């Protein structure tokens, strides 16, 4: 639950890189050993999307020049007092509701003391004793690749959600620190998860799901590269049927992949330490992405004493939880907010499978694509009995790549066209490859509709038996040798010949008719 | 003002408990004066504690006067332990029944970097310049304290 300035941790990494050179590298993988059980819990700091800071009226712009977004309160000038931002309470509440937390009708603020130059007051205002919300849940889907790939559902419990301030940012060199307070006082919500996970892939999947939830709620941008979402991972390892082991905490992991890698590395490191008969030291570590390892961060000789005390300058924060509570201008009205919680990604996945017959994998992929969802919804709303599986495949396999390659966001697809293409594929009017050609045209000339593109380029499938006959004949003539072997019963060349017909027709031949033709005219019988 | 406000805000049970505690304290106070506290409550500040506190606070006080002052402060604070606070809910703030004011999410502060940096001794390109992190103080021999 410790916050660390962003820059502070970077320099630690830098510092430890040099000391690492002396440590011999004997890193091996032990994850497969069944006797060890890893336990992983995450603490995630998410910056609340707001215009002004948590307790001051300074702006939250990420890119202002050094010390340009700093109110006197953020720099801890004497006589300044904290004034809580309503938006931050609302965002925290909304997030808590979306994660099925119990909201506390009254929550309080505390001071947590650290002496760092980027924390000018000498303490961080956080919620220690009575946080905003407790006891939530996050359901997510874990995908494990590799030879025994599998997809499974997992739940992690949320211990609590609390509002707190971010610290400043410091850049270090040998002899001094340069401190920028633009970050100081930015609103954070810290989500403390219970240690329910067992490896890096699950941890990464949890973070991914949380990002989906928060971005859909609009309570956090989740731009990890800007430090808007930072992950701390608590990792310990113990033998099956024995008490939990000593844990270490990996701080400030700033990318989803890094979460998976850091946790898995740390699990392996601890197993290795234990197998050598040594003990895991309770310490704070950081992830060095370049060298793919965790390194110790702070000296561990003393346990940190935060000397928590109630924040005397902030009376308790109240929420209006039920209708029989009187309205109050300084209470966030939860009875209203609850209507603003959108369908969760989890519910959406369940619905997609149930209502549209999508597979779990399709549902997982579709739900995580913000660009595709509106296309999917609109196309399905226009025509309820549309084939959602074909539509989803079209969106995920073909349309998505246009959005991914399109950095300038110029490409626009219309739900109408997606629906038309889906229907034509379903009815056998066009093939997958023609669908691709149509998409390409549409991406270049957004004024046209799918139907117009087809007519303009004469793209519908060739279903005229006479034309099919002609195509097949010419292919068999061009491949006389192959046909000879085929007829002699030595080698079944039907597939190859069919493909040649398909190519000759530029992907427009109705392949069902082509297959039919070969079956009738050149049936294969092995001799 | 504060006493009046405090009394108003205390529930009867809290008030009773407080009064009880206050009576108890005053009956003992003649023997429990700070300057003549019993030996048992005299704090023993050893070298390790001094070092630890110096690091935590970044305050340099490892001299006879500094330690004496610390011990004095501890003795002073220890008197609070003499109060029987059983069943007394701690009062954090006299405003504990108030509803915290919420401000609209608007940027109201001008970014005046000159004012923000005005109290800094050393600056560079609008950064505050600070010592390099929470580095340990130079570990000195504190034997002269004994």
User: Which pLDDT score, from 0 to 100, does residue A33 have?
Assistant: 61
Q: Do B107 and A316 touch (CB under 8 A)?
A: no
Q: Give me the number of domains chain B comprises.
A: 1
Task: Tell me which residues of chain A, numbers 443 to 482, contact chain B at a CB-CB cutoff of 8 Å.
Answer: none
| Any domain includes A99 | yes
Statement to judge: residues A259 and A374 lie in one domain:
no
Q: Do B58 and A318 touch (CB under 8 A)?
A: no
| Any domain includes B74 | yes
Nearest Cβ partner of A178 from B93, B103, B129?
B129
Burial (CB < 10 A; 0-12, 13-18, 19+), residue A55, is: buried
User: Which pLDDT score, from 0 to 100, does residue B42 have?
Assistant: 60
| Any domain includes A219 | yes
Statement to judge: residues A79 and A146 lie in one domain:
yes
* Chain B residues touching residue A170 (CB < 8 angstroms): 130, 133
Q: Do B100 and A51 touch (CB under 8 A)?
A: no
- Is A108 near chain B, with CB under 8 Å? yes
A44-85, pLDDT tens digit by residue?
A: 999 999 999 999 999 998 788 999 999 999 999 999 999 999
- The DSSP string of A357-371 is ---HHHHHHHHT-TT
A420-458, pLDDT tens digit by residue?
A: 888 888 887 777 888 888 888 888 877 878 777 777 777
Contact call for residues A274 and A245 (beta carbons, < 8 A): yes
Statement to judge: residues A445 and A507 lie in one domain:
no
- Is A15 near chain B, with CB under 8 Å? no
| Any domain includes B67 | yes
Q: Categorize the per-residue pLDDT at B133 as very low, low, confident or very high, splitting at 50, 70 and 90.
A: low
Nearest Cβ partner of B105 from A71, A86, A177?
A86
User: Which pLDDT score, from 0 to 100, does residue A527 have?
Assistant: 65
**Run of H or E residues at A520:** helix A511-521
| Any domain includes B62 | yes
R_g of chain B computed on alpha carbons? 23
Q: Categorize the per-residue pLDDT at A256 as very low, low, confident or very high, splitting at 50, 70 and 90.
A: very high
Nearest Cβ partner of A70 from B108, B116, B129?
B116
What ipTM score was computed for the predicted complex, to two decimals?
Answer: 0.73
- Is B107 near chain A, with CB under 8 Å? yes
Q: Is A52 helix (H, G, I), strand (E, B) or coil?
A: strand
Residues A295 and A291: their CA atoms lie apart, in Å, by: 10
Statement to judge: residues A302 and A237 lie in one domain:
yes
| Any domain includes B131 | no
User: Which pLDDT score, from 0 to 100, does residue A137 have?
Assistant: 94
**pLDDT exceeds 60 at position A522:** yes
Statement to judge: residues A303 and A376 lie in one domain:
no
Statement to judge: residues A351 and A428 lie in one domain:
yes
Best residue in A111, A117, A308 to probe B by mutation, most B CBs within 10 Å? A117
Closest chain B residue to A77, measured at CA: B116
| Any domain includes B61 | yes
Boundaries of domain holding A142: 36-310
A326-341, pLDDT tens digit by residue?
A: 889 999 999 999 998 9
Burial (CB < 10 A; 0-12, 13-18, 19+), residue A404, is: exposed
A227-241, pLDDT tens digit by residue?
A: 999 999 999 999 888
Mean pLDDT, all residues of chain B: 70
User: Which pLDDT score, from 0 to 100, does residue B11 have?
Assistant: 44
The proportion of chain A whose per-residue pLDDT surpasses 70, expressed as a percent, equals 91
Q: Categorize the per-residue pLDDT at A258 as very low, low, confident or very high, splitting at 50, 70 and 90.
A: very high
| Any domain includes A116 | yes
Statement to judge: residues A251 and A400 lie in one domain:
no
Statement to judge: residues A389 and A417 lie in one domain:
yes
Q: Give me the number of domains chain A comprises.
A: 3
A217-229, pLDDT tens digit by residue?
A: 999 999 999 999 9
| Any domain includes A9 | no
Statement to judge: residues A217 and A360 lie in one domain:
no
Q: How many CB pairs under 8 A join A and B?
A: 133
- Is B93 near chain A, with CB under 8 Å? yes
């Amino acid at each position: 639950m410790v916050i660390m300035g962003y820059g502070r941790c970077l320099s630690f990494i830098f510092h430890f890189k040099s000391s690492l050179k002396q440590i011999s590298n004997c890193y091996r993988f032990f994850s497969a050993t069944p006797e060890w059980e890893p336990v992983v819990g995450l603490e995630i700091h998410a910056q609340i999307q707001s215009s002004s800071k948590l307790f001051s009226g300074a702006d939250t712009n990420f890119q202002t020049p050094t010390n340009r977004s700093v109110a006197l309160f953020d720099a801890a000038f004497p006589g300044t007092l904290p004034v809580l931002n309503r938006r931050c309470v609302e965002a925290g509440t909304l997030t808590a509701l979306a994660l099925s937390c119990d909201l506390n009708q009254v929550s309080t603020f505390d001071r947590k003391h650290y002496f760092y130059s980027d924390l000018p007051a000498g303490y961080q205002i956080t919620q220690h004793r009575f946080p905003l919300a407790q006891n939530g849940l996050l359901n997510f889907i874990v995908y494990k690749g590799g030879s025994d790939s599998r997809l499974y559902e997992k739940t992690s419990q949320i211990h609590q959600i609390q509002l707190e301030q971010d610290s400043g940012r410091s850049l270090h060199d040998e002899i001094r620190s340069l401190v920028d307070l633009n970050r100081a006082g930015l609103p954070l919500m810290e989500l403390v998860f219970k240690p329910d996970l067992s490896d890096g892939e699950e941890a990464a999947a949890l973070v991914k799901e949380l990002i989906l939830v928060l971005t859909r709620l609009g309570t956090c941008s989740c731009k990890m590269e800007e430090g808007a979402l930072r992950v701390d991972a608590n990792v310990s390892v113990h033998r099956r049927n024995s008490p939990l082991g000593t844990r270490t905490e990996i701080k400030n992991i700033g990318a989803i992949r890094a979460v998976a890698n850091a946790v898995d590395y740390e699990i392996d490191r601890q197993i290795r330490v234990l197998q050598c008969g040594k003990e895991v030291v309770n310490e704070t570590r950081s992830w060095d992405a370049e060298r793919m390892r965790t390194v110790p961060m702070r000296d561990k000789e003393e346990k940190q004493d935060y000397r928590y005390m109630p924040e005397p300058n902030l009376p308790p924060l109240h929420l209006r939880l039920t209708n029989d509570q009187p309205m109050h201008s300084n209470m966030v009205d939860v009875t209203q907010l609850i209507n603003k919680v959108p369908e969760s990604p989890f519910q959406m996945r369940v619905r997609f499978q149930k209502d549209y017959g999508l597979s779990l994998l399709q549902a997982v992929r579709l739900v995580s694509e913000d660009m595709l969802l509106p296309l999917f919804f609109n196309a399905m709303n226009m025509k309820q009995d549309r084939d959602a599986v074909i539509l989803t495949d079209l969106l995920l396999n073909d349309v998505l790549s246009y959005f991914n390659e399109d950095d300038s966001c110029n490409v626009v697809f219309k739900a109408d066209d997606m629906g038309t293409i889906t229907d034509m594929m379903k009815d056998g009017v066009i093939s997958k490859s023609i669908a691709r050609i149509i998409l390409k045209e549409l991406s270049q000339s957004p004024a046209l509709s799918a139907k117009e593109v087809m007519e303009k380029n004469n793209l519908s499938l060739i279903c005229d038996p006479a034309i099919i006959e002609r195509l097949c004949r010419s292919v068999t003539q061009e491949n006389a040798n192959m046909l000879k072997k085929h007829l002699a019963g030595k080698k079944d060349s039907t597939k190859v010949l069919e493909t040649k017909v398909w190519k000759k027709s530029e992907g427009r031949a109705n392949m069902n008719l082509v297959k039919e033709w070969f079956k009738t005219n050149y049936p294969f019988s092995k001799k | 003002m504060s006493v009046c406000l405090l009394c108003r805000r205390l529930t009867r049970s809290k008030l009773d408990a407080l009064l009880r505690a206050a009576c108890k304290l005053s009956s003992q106070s003649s023997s429990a004066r700070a300057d003549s506290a019993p030996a048992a409550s005299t704090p023993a500040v050893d070298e390790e504690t001094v070092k630890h506190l110096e690091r935590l606070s970044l305050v340099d006080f490892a001299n006879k006067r500094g330690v004496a002052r610390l011990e004095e402060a501890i003795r002073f604070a220890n008197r609070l332990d003499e109060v029987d606070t059983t069943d007394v809910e701690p009062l954090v703030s006299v405003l504990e029944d108030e509803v915290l004011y919420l401000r609209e999410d608007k940027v109201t502060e001008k970014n005046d970097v000159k004012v923000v940096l005005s109290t800094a001794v050393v600056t560079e390109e609008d950064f505050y310049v600070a010592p390099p992190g929470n580095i340990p103080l130079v570990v000195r021999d504190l034997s002269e304290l004994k």
